[in-house]
Chain A
Amino acid sequence: MQALYTSPYFGVTLSVIAFGIGVKLRQKTKSAICNPLVIAIVLVIGVLLCFKIPYDSYNIGGEIINMFLAPATACLAVSIYTRLSILKKYWLPILVGCTAGSLSSMTSVYVMCRLFGLETNLTMSILPKSVTTPIAVSVAEAHGGVVPVTVAAVIFTGILGSIMAPWLIRVLRVSDRVAAGLAIGASSHAVGTSKAIEIGEVEGAMSGLAIGICGIATVIFSMFI
């Protein structure tokens, strides 16, 4: 029985199947709550717990998948590069917005965690929650955060942002499409960006740019902690 799950193929196959189901459910329901990543994580944990398979066995395959995280982050450069003309046109608002957004995200998390008396390692885990997962994970790791908590917080924030974005645009009466796009990207990274693309082309492009730029801003700010 053990031979079934001590091979690296087990972890990879289980992840692929779980993710496939997640993507299907998303296509069926078209709801932000049906995030394929969340569904995949829940399914994998469910299978491991049900069949009493140790996490370490799953992670033999898991580590292979992990290896692609750094290349995937590096490729965010490509998505910034393809939007170079729009970046040049609005460079100052983009820079100011992303810097202010990242700083306010980190400060607000830090202050609230202190108010709630949360432990330092938990605070560090969710401090970078508004930026894209690979960058958030690196920042949390460097400051003693608990990486899985960071992943959970980042996904949760992303889903939250994509649900609240249309409502926030209305409540704050945001008529400027550049401002709306940047705000979505700064507050809820790639998950929010998929919503921003639905709202409009300018919003989508701006939100996509904000992912990379806010990521860099967050890394730089975190160096001063």
Chain B
Amino acid sequence: MKIIKQVGIIFTVCWLSQLIANVLPFTFPASVIGMLFLFICLLTGLLKIEHIQEKSDFLLENMAFFFIPAGVSIMNYFEILKSSVVQLVIVCMVSTVITFAVTVYSVKWTMRLLDRRRK
């Protein structure tokens, strides 16, 4: 029963966020609304972490599994990919290095600014 209740809570959050996503005048992913919604519920104490612990551990630990069907559907797109796979790989590699470096330096500079303020 405990698990069923937890599934119920999380599915209700997802269902409500889908409704919110439909009403919003701009496109915002329902899953991210669900995440913010759940976060607010936890912050305000509306939900306690114990209410969803097991179910959320199950979902987070097995996150990768849920992407198998989405990944398998790439077999329908082999034709499109064939001509541009090299470019896509280069873009991913270069962009990963850029993202890493920009994040490192922006965090460093922010910390340095904060330190200077404190002094």
Chain A interfacial positions (CB closer than 8 Å to B): 11, 15-16, 18-19, 35-38, 40-41, 44-45, 48-49, 55, 58-59, 61-63, 65-66, 68-82, 92-94, 96-98, 100-101, 104-105, 108-109, 112-113, 116, 118-119, 122, 126, 129-130, 133-135, 137-139, 141-142, 146-149, 151-153, 155-157, 160-161, 164-165, 168, 172, 174, 176, 178-180, 182-184, 186-188, 190, 210, 212, 215-216, 219, 223
User: Using an 8 Å CB-CB cutoff, how does the interface string of B29-42 with A read, 1 for contact, 0 for none?
Assistant: 11110111111001
- Contact at A105–B95, with CB atoms within 8 Å? yes
Given known pairs A71-B59, A75-B38, A153-B88, the reply for A65 and B66 (CB within 8 Å) is yes
Chain A contacts for B39, CB-based, 8 A: 77, 80-81
Q: Quick check: A157 and B60 within 8 Å, CB to CB? A: no
Q: Nearest chain B CB to A7's CB is how many angstroms away? A: 15
Using Cβ atoms and an 8 Å threshold, which residues of chain A touch B53?
Answer: 78
Say which residue of B14, B75, B93, B96 sits within 8 Å of A45 (CB atoms): B75
Residues of B within 8 A of A118 (CB): 84, 87-88, 91
Contact B27 A41, beta carbon cutoff 8 Å: no
| Chain B interface mostly | helix
- Of all chain A residues, the one with the shortest Cβ separation from B40 is A77
> In the complex, which residues of chain A have a beta carbon less than 8 angstroms from the beta carbon of B67?
37, 69, 133, 151, 155
Q: Which residue of B lies closest to A66 (CB)?
A: B69
With the chains together, A45 CA to B69 CA distance in Å?
10
Residue in contact with A152 in the complex, picked from B28, B74, B84, B96, CB distance below 8 Å: B74
23 residue pairs bridging A and B, Cβ less than 8 Å apart:
A15-B68, A41-B71, A48-B72, A65-B66, A70-B17, A70-B30, A72-B60, A72-B66, A78-B52, A81-B39, A81-B42, A93-B111, A104-B99, A108-B99, A118-B88, A133-B63, A139-B29, A148-B71, A149-B80, A151-B71, A172-B101, A174-B104, A178-B107
